[in-house]
């Protein structure tokens, strides 16, 4: 399994409880695909650099996760299907080189 970082921007018109439920749903999808969630960092509501779907700000959350490589495409598809997510950035975390 590889290690990934997922940064998600949620719609600002959601309650904190609704954002928590969406994050929990994302975490359950990760575990259903045979992965694991290492940490979730909720950065809160922040102003966006530009409007996305006519929203000027969004609720940011960063998740560090491990996922089998063959499940990544399906996981990204599941993220795109959620209407409450404005943007996602999904990238592989590389190990730091020791000097």
Just give the CATH number of 2-92.
3.30.70.60
Q: Supply the DSSP string of 40-90, one letter for each residue.
A: EEEEEEEEEEEEETTEEEEEEEEEEEEE-GGGHHHHHHHHHH-TTEEEEEE
pLDDT of residue 97: 60
For range 9-21, the mean pLDDT: 94
pLDDT of residue 96: 74
- pTM greater than 0.95: no
Q: What value, to the nearest 5°, has the Cα angle with vertex 43 and ends 72 and 50?
A: 80
């Amino acid at each position: 399994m590889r290690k990934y970082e997922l940064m998600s921007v949620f719609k600002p018109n959601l309650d904190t409880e609704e954002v928590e439920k969406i994050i929990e749903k994302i975490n359950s999808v990760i575990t259903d695909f045979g992965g694991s969630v290492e940490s979730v960092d909720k950065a809160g509501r922040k102003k966006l650099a530009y409007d996305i779907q006519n929203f000027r700000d969004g609720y940011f959350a960063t998740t560090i996760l491990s996922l089998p490589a063959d499940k990544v495409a399906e996981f990204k598809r599941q993220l795109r299907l959620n209407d409450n997510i404005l943007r996602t950035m999904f990238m592989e975390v590389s190990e730091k080189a020791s000097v």
